[in-house]
Structures are given as structure tokens and as C-alpha cells.
Amino acid sequence: MFDRLKKVLARSKSDPQGDLPPESTPALSTVSVWAGTQGFSYFHQDKEQGFLLTGQVRGKPWKLECGPSSRDYILGEELRARAELGVNGDAAVLIMNRPLKESLEKRAYAIYTDSLQTTADPSLLEEMRWLAMYEEFGWSDLVPEFWERYTVLADQREHALAWIDGNLAELLLSWPVPGPDAETPFILMLLRGKAYLRMQYVSGDIATLQHAAVIYTSACDAALGGLGTDIVL
């Protein structure tokens, strides 16, 4: 009994927050404090670096979570966000960093031309379907640096123009340094009235997390302003 008690006391000293590993506590505490200053709700999700943030944009709820990657092209941790915006459900617009698009296109080509490879990774089918379904658009109002780093795919040019304004484009080019570069997998998407974000993330990079939250909430706000809402009769 005394041995068990000593182990409990030793664990409490090294891990004052219970199940959290000592090395994860400072980063998670920083995220929690910052979330509170922004009016976000914070929830710790597991024994590693996972967490969930929730908030609202124009009364529409959103959530952003950090956890293990669900895609093989994202290494390490992943940031995922989702919001039910209720904007034009017919609008489909995708912003993807250009190196990721080129990599997915090469993989799709290899799958469809390699007679020995008859099936694709199910987790990539959705991304490959986007590349096949949607047309790439560009316009001169945004700076060349934006088009060098990102590609925009959409069902209609008008939907892309209505969503991606100069402010959102500038935010997408203003990542903290050091932070995500042009090679870092990144997807921001509007589909079926919802807004999604998926990107590779380095655990404990608070500046990148903060900027990703600004990008995502700004994207939600721009969608609500530019694409209106669906009216249910």
C-alpha cells in the first residue's frame, strides 16, 4: 500500500494537472489562456497535445481541433475546423497550397495509369475527386504571391470571387515566421454551406494556431458576407 501511495505522490508532483504529460502542460495552458481572451471555449481532448476550440461567427458555431493526422500527406499533428454556416449550398470553393495540389495530381495519375495499382487510399478519394470535379480559377485583383502559393478550385468563378477577398488573401500570406511555408499541406474549403480547414501543425506552435484561427474565422465571416444564407421554406 505504501509503495502505491509513494507512486501516486510522485506522479502528482511531476504532473500537477493529472493525466497531462509534464512537457505538454505549458503549451496547453497557453492555448487555454489565449482562447479565453478571444471568447473561445477550450477543451482538452487527450493525454497528448489534443484540444478543441469552439466559438461563433455572426452567431454561427464553429469548432477547431488539434489531433493526430487523418491524412497521410499531413505529418504529425493536424488542425481541423468545421462550421455550419448555412451559406449558399450550391457554392463549392477550395483553396489549397499549390505543392499539395501538384502532389495529389501526381498520385491520382499514378493510380489511374498503373495497371498493378487498382485501388486508391480511401482517405484520398475525396481530395482527388475535388481536383477532378472543380475548375481552377484566378484573377488579377489578388497579388501574384497569392497565386504562387495557392490554387483556387471552384464550381463557379463567381462563387470564388464572392468569398476570397483581399483581406482573406493577405491573411493567407501572412503566416508567422517561423511557421507554415508554401510546402505545408493546407486546405480551406466551402462545401454544402459549411466551411472547413485542414492543415499540418507543429505541436506547441501557438503563433501558427492563433493565425490559423484568425484565417478560419475571417473565412467564415467573408463567406457569410459574400455568399448569403440559404432560405428554408
| Whether the Cβ atoms of residue 70 and residue 90 lie closer than 8 Å to each other | no
pLDDT score, position 226: 94
Q: Write the pLDDT tens digit of every residue in 135-160.
A: 999 999 999 999 999 999 999 999 99
Cα 195 to Cα 13, 43, 62, 205, distances in angstroms: 43, 21, 9, 23
Residue type, 163: W
What is the pLDDT confidence band of residue 60, given thresholds at 50, 70 and 90?
A: very high
pTM of the model: 0.82
- Residues 92-109 have a mean pLDDT of 93
- For cell 459574400, the residue is 226
Residue 169, burial from CB neighbour count under 10 angstroms (0-12, 13-18, 19+): buried
